Amino acid sequence: MIAAAVTLRVLHVEDSVDDAELVRSALEHGGFNVDAHRVETEQGMLDALERTDWDLVISDFNLPQFNASRALQLLKSSAMDIPFFIASGYIGQEGAVALVKAGSTDFVMKSNLAHLPVVVERGLREYGTRKAHQVASAALHESEARYRAIAANLPGMVYQSLLSRDETIHFNYVSDQCKPLFGIDAETLIANPQLLVELLLPEDVESFRKIVKKIPRDLTNTNWEGRCRIPPEGDVKWINLRASHRQLPNGQILSEGIFSNITQSKVWQMALERSQEELRELSKHLQLAKEQERSHIARELHDELGSTLTAIKIDLLRLSSGLPEDRADLFHKIGSATNLLDHAMDTVRNVAQSLRPGILDFGLHAAIEWQTREFQKRLGIDCEINCHAEALIIDSDTSTAIFRIFQETLTNISKHSDATRVKVTLVEDGEMVFLEVEDNGNGITEYDISKTGSFGIHNMRERVEALGGEFEIENSASGHGTRVCVTISLVGKDAIEVGTDTQQTLFEEPLNP
């Protein structure tokens, strides 16, 4: 019995008014409110089916001009999908089975109409379940169709797979993009997942197997790139795999992702990398050419102009020694000329030193110490230098690059930092050289580092990258000042031992760390 009264709109195919009333009475006794309409001919049923608000049909098995089989056919040919019950005084076993197979919901004998409400309630419940299933199936079909349409238009092959404990891959779903991407049908890949590995270039198989082994351990999202040789022409494509994973209760890993063709972007990337490498080589060549030119000019100034000025000074001194004692005016002129020569010789020496300090020939740490002493003397900023260096003369390109970076750093400190202290650390151990310069000034912002006009920082970075090193510039850990750090590997670079290990501070009153 039902818990509360429900109004049923019943189309009743019945030729007996009395039997129709018994059916109504049985349904009402079972808790239904009944709104019934009786028909007994085919035309009457057709006219009634023009209404679309019936909840069910109850039909007698045989009528003088009509029968249940024909009534069921009429219901099926209409636009209505509602339960169909048979209530008959007599119906054979074969006839009942045939009608159920044809689509009848259930039947009840007129001699047992008390059972009719239970049959109707059960039939309506099954009908509701079936309709809900149909709606869900239709929604699922529509969702799958929408998903397949989206997957078919994505620039890659969408897939779902299961990864077993033995790391075997089984594809549950592969989109139609499999064919244009890998050159094989989706059904072929599903039937033989090993084909995916066989398409990979041998040098990329190991990296693919590594990510497969990694999946069960941490279930992190996968992002892998590799190359495939596509049949039948054997073209090579760059493929990117992006996927997410989750573990099922049975221990298998469910993976969902997309394989994309990234060949064009890889071509552009490799072209860009080649271009950047060429630019680095060009920058390195220009820096080397500039340093060579500076060295050449410095030698010319020192050897040619310096020697010439020295010879002139010697001649003037000889000339003055041979003058009569009463020619004070000539003594004065020769003295003035000698002073001018001394000034010119100092200028030549200073210019030559600025072009390329000769002290670089004695090692990088000696040059760093000399430059720090000159910086402190010129600006009055307290400086501390800590050298932890083997006495090595590293190759000229590396030592010159590090020295120029150091000079540029000191220039930036003098221009922008308002610092009162500078700490310099230099470490050389035969395998790497490490230079750190830290001040207590204003610090530096991201904008200062990346702005278009920061040629000094850009040049420092270019010099380090040309040598395969690492360059950092950031605010000091203390929150005040700036820290510049350069690390360059010396492995494979020539170095000459010039003495014992040194560790010293240049200044009598160093900056306390």
Mind listing the pLDDT tens digit for each residue in 325-336? 777 788 788 888
SS3 state of residue 240: strand
| Pair type for strands 421-428 and 156-163 | unpaired
227 DSSP β-pair partners: 238
Give pLDDT, residue 193: 93
Residue 497 has pLDDT above 50, yes or no: no
- Residue 71's contacts (CB-CB under 8 Å, 6 or more residues apart) are 13, 45, 57, 59, 84
Give the model's confidence band at 226: pLDDT under 50 very low, under 70 low, under 90 confident, else very high.
Answer: very high
Give the model's confidence band at 501: pLDDT under 50 very low, under 70 low, under 90 confident, else very high.
Answer: very low
Phi-psi region of 479 (alpha: psi -120 to 50; beta: other; left: phi over 0): left
Report phi then psi at 66, rounded to 5.
Answer: -160, 165
Phi-psi region of 418 (alpha: psi -120 to 50; beta: other; left: phi over 0): left
What digits encode the pLDDT tens for the residues 299-316? 677 667 777 888 888 888
- Residue 279's contacts (CB-CB under 8 Å, 6 or more residues apart) are none
Q: Which residue has the higher pLDDT, 488 or 298?
A: 488
- 32, containing H or E segment: strand 32-39
With pLDDT > 70 as the criterion, what percentage of the chain qualifies? Answer: 87
Let me know: does 481 contact 441? Beta carbons within 8 Å.
yes
Give the model's confidence band at 219: pLDDT under 50 very low, under 70 low, under 90 confident, else very high.
Answer: confident
- 3-class secondary structure for 58-89? EECCECCCCEHHHHHHHHHHCCCCCCEEEEEC
Beta strand extents in 295-372 (DSSP E only): none
- 425, containing H or E segment: strand 421-428
Neighbours of 4 (CB within 10 A): 5
Give pLDDT, residue 232: 83
Residue 391 has pLDDT above 60, yes or no: no
Rounded Cα distance, 219 and 383, in Å = 53
Neighbours of 492 (CB within 10 A): 7
What is the rounded average pLDDT for all residues in the chain?
83
What digits encode the pLDDT tens for the residues 83-116? 999 888 877 767 777 888 888 888 888 888 999 9
Rounded Cα distance, 85 and 153, in Å = 48
Give pLDDT, residue 506: 35
Residue 209 has pLDDT above 80, yes or no: yes
Residue 205 has pLDDT above 90, yes or no: yes
Report phi then psi at 313, rounded to 5.
Answer: -65, -40
Report phi then psi at 171, rounded to 5.
Answer: -85, 125
Mean pLDDT of 254-278: 89
Give pLDDT, residue 108: 87
Single out the residue of 323, 145, 162 nearest to residue 248, CA to CA.
162
What digits encode the pLDDT tens for the residues 428-481? 877 888 999 999 988 887 777 777 666 678 788 888 888 888 999 888 877 678
Query: Does the reported pTM lie above 0.85?
Result: no
What are 28's two structure tokens?
Answer: 């009402």
| Pair type for strands 392-394 and 169-174 | unpaired
